[in-house]
């Protein structure tokens, strides 16, 4: 782990900046006269809350630990009609609490505007009223889709577990858009979507927010008297100001341990909620018609139905389940062309797996024991087709069903269990002999359990995780897949001195079994390359039916409370460790030792509202204790007084022993490099903001280098229409780019080339919020990358001290290009005969992906979607192409379109 300072309230170079608030307000409107006794009696009987004095409690109540307390009360009158107006009779009950404190930009200062809070409850709901005083002309009422953080915001967060680790947060923007998230000590998760109601309204000198939060959406103990953590905040966007009801110090390493407390909730009924969300979906798919292909007629249609559900097992634990889930409304993954040996990591975007994902988190440095994208992935097997054969296979494996059980007991025991079954998938093959089927993915079962227990007032946390993947492999052509894969681990964290210092420890294991073909594939995969000829500590066993490995990590550090931060980390992964059946692991066979130190300035100082400076070092070995190289880094980021933000870093890497460059061949000594990146963003609180990123990467081989730039804009065209766009251009020259390995005579030839590559991509997003419940989003991502190889060479001395002694560049007498077959022929011996050939590695890759999503929450918790997904892509390995050629080809291509309509309907019992 490295210390990288990030302000909680800032989404750097992204949509918006949020904060957490404090303030007070007074309003005393009195009835000054009556027109007689009868009229007085009438007025007394019909007086409204608007004519009732609003009394703000100016006393700040605190417990023995110094935490601020709000004492709520049960509603005695009718529950409020949630319209944002705060004119219901019930709002005359209870107390208004003000006295918020500024956290950003100047911690501890008075806020620029006052804010008031009131909380009430009954057996079914928590009701919250917030009045945010301000000049109506200055209130930022920028709207957006759900969880789109923009404009002025107020919010409330309940740590209903009271574990000082997580809270359920509900926010409303001044435009009425909803935001809900899980708030944690070191971040937040907006993927959690609860079913709740909230509205805003305007007053003469304030805007108001009204919340109705069902208790069914929270999790809490069954104690007769409840004490919850309480956090309330406000964000004033034009000032980029965060105010809080109970001030959380900006340098705290544990946010949730510093929030206030909510008292007064008593005798809540046991939570046994049941929710059901059935859906129906119809779609039309249009694509290029292919002559002779019976599966490519130009269009097809589809229909699906299924449901999601929730069952409150108790007030602490909930079961989520889904049958035949549909994710048609999910945004497409970004385009990428990966020329490395490592798997591309894609973010999870599917709602069922996003919600509550923090419960299952077990990160092991850059790796994960649970990577939910493995469930429902693209089929693993691609049928080999003869001439005039055609195949149709599903894009993704169908999830037949999945269940999650999660929650936390009053004794601090949190449990998360996930079980999922994916279907056996077949490809339909058409030939002159008729039609047949071939299995492309076996029936599979996935299981995850995560347990954590808090001790010592949440200063000590002990946990474990266990995952299992099982496949029913009953056909020989699927023997390359493992039959079963188990991983597990424990984690321990201990804080001391008010959570200033911490000690982390983790241990992991994996155990995989299958046919020797499957285990051989694991041994030779890019994560380990057991076939490396210069790695005496690993070897190929082609008869093995199992692979086992372990890993461990220890870290100690200072996480906050003061300007200085530091950490020291040591971790290892044995060669046989593998998480990739249900997790994500880039590379096994590694030992790392790293440390970092940072200085953080939160309060405004000179030119800056805040800034942080960090430096560190990392050293790497393999499990044979062979030293592989070192890396040093320096980083600075912060915000100027004019609200512009900046980021800069520099990495220097010494000469490295690269064990992956030849993809199973011997390790290669490669020259060190210098990397630097700069980024700046203008004041995002403005209607129009801009920014840019510059990146340089320079190797000391005198050849390899990278330059990239990415300017971007954010434009709030109106309060309801917003545009953001980024254009990224990259120009790369790589001295040693892998092409192929050839068996020649009694040796192997590792063929490399110098690669000149240009890439141009753009991301465009449009957000149109007609109302908080009716929104339109558009996402477009054109991408073109062209690569030209030259100076094709073979590795001759991989550990050479001098760079040019590493390889031999083929001369014009040794290599010639065959345009007819698009190949290079190599005569290494010089006898005039072709010794071996390689395909032309030049490439042009282009792709365009887009999504148009209309989302209408026509009833609380129930949604209608119209989705248009558009795509087109192609690959060509003819050299000499340009970016312009790629975009021309993209424009002429026949697109692939999916038009989808989906309804779901929320039931709650």
Tell me the per-residue pLDDT of 60-117, one tens digit each, with 9 for 90 and over: 777 767 899 999 999 999 999 999 999 999 999 999 999 999 999 999 999 999 999 9
Beta strand pairing call for 823-826 and 836-839: antiparallel
Mean pLDDT of all residues in 251-273:
89
- Residue of 608, 490, 563 whose CA lies nearest to 3: 563
pLDDT at site 54: 53
Tell me which of 161 and 207 has the higher pLDDT: 207
Tell me which of 838 and 355 has the higher pLDDT: 838
Contacts of 514 (CB under 8 A, 6+ apart): 473, 479, 481, 482, 483, 484, 545, 546
Contact 321, 327 (CB under 8 A): no
Contacts of 311 (CB under 8 A, 6+ apart): 273, 274, 275, 318, 319, 321
Mean pLDDT of all residues in 872-891:
84
Tell me which of 93 and 355 has the higher pLDDT: 93
Both tokens assigned to 346: 């894609």
Q: Looking at the predicted structure, is the pLDDT value of residue 683 above 70?
A: yes
- 241-250, 312-321, 677-686: least confident range: 312-321
- 69-83, 401-415, 729-743: least confident range: 401-415
pLDDT at site 355: 75
* Per-residue pLDDT band at 56 (split at 50, 70, 90): low
pLDDT at site 57: 64
pLDDT at site 325: 87
Q: Looking at the predicted structure, is the pLDDT value of residue 478 above 80?
A: yes
Q: Looking at the predicted structure, is the pLDDT value of residue 620 above 60?
A: yes
- Residue of 124, 525, 581 whose CA lies nearest to 315: 124
* Torsion of the alpha carbons at 247, 252, 256 and 258, rounded to the nearest 10: -40
Average pLDDT value over all residues in the chain: 89
- 249-258, 603-612, 681-690: least confident range: 249-258
Torsion sign over Cα 91, 92, 95, 100:
positive
pLDDT at site 800: 94
- 331-335, 397-401, 551-555: least confident range: 331-335
pLDDT at site 589: 96
pLDDT at site 329: 65
Q: Looking at the predicted structure, is the pLDDT value of residue 37 above 70?
A: no
Mean pLDDT of all residues in 889-893:
81
- Residue of 480, 418, 490, 406 whose CA lies nearest to 448: 418
Count of CA atoms in the C-beta half-sphere (13 A) of 835: 19
Euclidean distance between CA atoms 47 and 702, whole angstroms: 83
Q: Looking at the predicted structure, is the pLDDT value of residue 361 above 70?
A: yes
Tell me which of 701 and 462 has the higher pLDDT: 462
Q: Looking at the predicted structure, is the pLDDT value of residue 161 above 90?
A: no
Beta strand pairing call for 260-266 and 69-71: parallel
* Per-residue pLDDT band at 273 (split at 50, 70, 90): confident
pLDDT at site 682: 97
pLDDT at site 856: 95
* Per-residue pLDDT band at 327 (split at 50, 70, 90): confident
pLDDT at site 58: 58
- 181-195, 813-827, 833-847: least confident range: 181-195
Torsion sign over Cα 42, 44, 47, 51:
positive
pLDDT tens digits for 448-458?
Answer: 999 999 999 88
User: Global pTM?
Assistant: 0.85
Mean pLDDT of all residues in 798-822:
93
pLDDT at site 336: 79
Euclidean distance between CA atoms 566 and 599, whole angstroms: 9
pLDDT at site 8: 33
**DSSP-assigned states of every residue in 507-563:** EEEEEEE--HHHHHHHHTSTTT-TT-TT-TT----TT--EEEEEEEEEEEEE-SSSS
How far the first Cα of the chain sits from its last, in Å, is 45
């Amino acid at each position: 782990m490295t210390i990288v300072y990030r302000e909680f309230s800032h989404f750097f170079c992204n949509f918006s900046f949020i904060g957490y608030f404090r303030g007070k307000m007074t309003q005393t409107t009195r009835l000054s006269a009556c027109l007689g006794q009868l009229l007085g009696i009438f007025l007394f009987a019909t007086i409204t809350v608007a004519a009732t004095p609003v009394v703000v409690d100016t006393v700040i109540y605190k417990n023995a630990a110094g935490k601020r307390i709000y004492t709520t009360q049960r509603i005695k009158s009718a529950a409020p009609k949630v319209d944002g107006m705060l004119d219901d009779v019930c709002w005359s009950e209870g107390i208004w609490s003000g006295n918020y404190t500024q956290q950003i930009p100047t911690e501890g200062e008075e806020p620029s505007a006052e804010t008031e809070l009131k909380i009430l409850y009954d057996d079914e709901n928590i009701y919250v009223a917030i009045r945010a005083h301000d000049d109506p002309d200055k209130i930022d009422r920028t709207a957006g889709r759900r969880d789109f953080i923009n404009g002025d915001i107020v919010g409330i967060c309940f740590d209903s577990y009271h574990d000082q680790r997580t809270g359920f947060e509900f926010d409303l923007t001044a435009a009425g858009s909803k935001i809900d998230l899980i708030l944690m000590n070191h971040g937040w998760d907006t993927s959690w979507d609860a079913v709740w109601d909230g509205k805003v309204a305007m007053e003469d000198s304030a805007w108001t927010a009204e919340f109705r939060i069902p208790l069914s959406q929270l999790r809490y103990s069954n104690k007769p008297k409840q004490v919850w953590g309480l956090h309330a905040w406000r964000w004033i966007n034009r000032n980029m100001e965060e105010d809080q009801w109970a001030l959380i110090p900006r340098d705290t390493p544990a946010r949730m341990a510093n929030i206030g407390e909510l008292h007064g909730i008593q005798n809540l009924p046991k939570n046994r909620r049941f929710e059901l969300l059935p859906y129906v979906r119809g779609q039309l798919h249009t694509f290029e018609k292919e002559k002779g292909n019976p599966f490519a007629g130009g269009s097809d249609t589809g229909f699906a139905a299924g449901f999601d559900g929730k069952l409150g097992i108790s007030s602490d634990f909930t079961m989520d389940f889904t049958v035949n889930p549909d994710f048609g409304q999910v945004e497409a993954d970004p385009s990428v062309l990966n020329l490395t040996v490592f798997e591309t990591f894609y973010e999870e975007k599917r709602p069922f797996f996003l919600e509550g994902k923090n419960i299952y988190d077990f990160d092991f440095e850059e790796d994960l024991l649970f990577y939910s994208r493995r469930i429902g992935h693209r089929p693993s097997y691609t049928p080999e087709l003869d001439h005039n054969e055609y195949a149709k296979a599903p894009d993704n494996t169908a999830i037949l069903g999945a269940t999650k059980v999660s929650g936390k007991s009053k004794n601090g025991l949190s449990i998360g269990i996930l079980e999922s079954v994916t279907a056996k998938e077949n490809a339909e093959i058409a030939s002159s002999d008729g039609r047949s089927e071939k299995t492309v993915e076996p029936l599979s079962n996935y299981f995850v359990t995560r347990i954590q227990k808090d001790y010592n007032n949440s200063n000590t946390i002990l946990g474990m995780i266990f995952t299992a993947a099982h496949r029913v492999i009953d056909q020989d052509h699927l023997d390359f897949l493992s039959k079963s894969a188990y991983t597990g681990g424990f984690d321990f964290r201990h804080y001391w001195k008010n959570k200033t210092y911490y000690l982390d420890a983790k241990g992991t294991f994996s155990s995989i079994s299958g046919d020797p073909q499957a285990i051989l594939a694991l041994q030779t995969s890019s994560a380990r390359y057991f076939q490396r000829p210069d790695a005496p500590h690993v070897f190929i066993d082609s008869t093995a039916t199992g692979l086992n490995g372990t890993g461990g990590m220890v870290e100690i550090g200072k996480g906050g409370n003061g300007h200085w931060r530091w950490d020291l980390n040591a971790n290892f992964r044995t060669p046989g460790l593998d998480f990739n059946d249900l997790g994500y692991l880039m590379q096994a066979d590694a030992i790392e030792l790293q440390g970092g130190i940072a200085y953080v300035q939160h309060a405004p100082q000179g030119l800056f509202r805040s800034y942080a400076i960090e430096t560190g070092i990392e050293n790497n070995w393999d499990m044979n204790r062979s030293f592989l190289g070192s890396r040093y880094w320096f980083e600075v980021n912060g915000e100027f007084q004019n609200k512009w933000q900046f980021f800069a870093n520099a990495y220097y890497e010494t000469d490295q022993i690269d064990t992956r460059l030849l993809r199973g061949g011997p390790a290669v000594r490669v020259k060190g490099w210098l990397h630097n990146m700069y980024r700046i963003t203008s004041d995002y609180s403005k209607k129009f903001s801009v920014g840019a990123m510059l990146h340089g990467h320079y190797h000391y081989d005198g050849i390899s280098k990278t330059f990239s730039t990415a300017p971007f804009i954010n434009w709030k065209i109106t309060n309801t229409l917003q545009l953001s766009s980024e254009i990224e251009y990259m120009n790369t020259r790589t001295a040693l780019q892998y092409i192929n390995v050839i068996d020649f005579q009694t040796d192997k030839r590792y063929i490399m080339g110098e690669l000149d590559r240009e890439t141009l991509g753009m991301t465009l997003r449009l957000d149109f919020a007609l109302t908080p419940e009716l929104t339109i989003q558009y996402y477009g991502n054109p991408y073109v990358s062209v690569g030209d190889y030259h100076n094709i060479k073979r590795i001759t001395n991989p550990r050479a001290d001098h760079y040019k002694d590493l390889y031999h560049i083929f001369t014009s007498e040794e290599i010639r290009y065959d345009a007819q077959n698009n190949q290079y022929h190599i005569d290494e011996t010089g006898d005039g005969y072709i010794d071996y050939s390689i395909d032309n590695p030049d490439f042009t890759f282009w792709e365009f992906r887009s999504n148009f999503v209309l989302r209408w929450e026509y009833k609380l918790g129930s949604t209608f979607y119209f989705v248009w997904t558009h795509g087109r892509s192609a690959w060509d390995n003819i050299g000499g192409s340009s970016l312009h050629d790629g975009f021309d080809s993209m424009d002429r291509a026949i697109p692939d379109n999916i038009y989808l309509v989906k309804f779901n309907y929320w039931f709650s019992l």
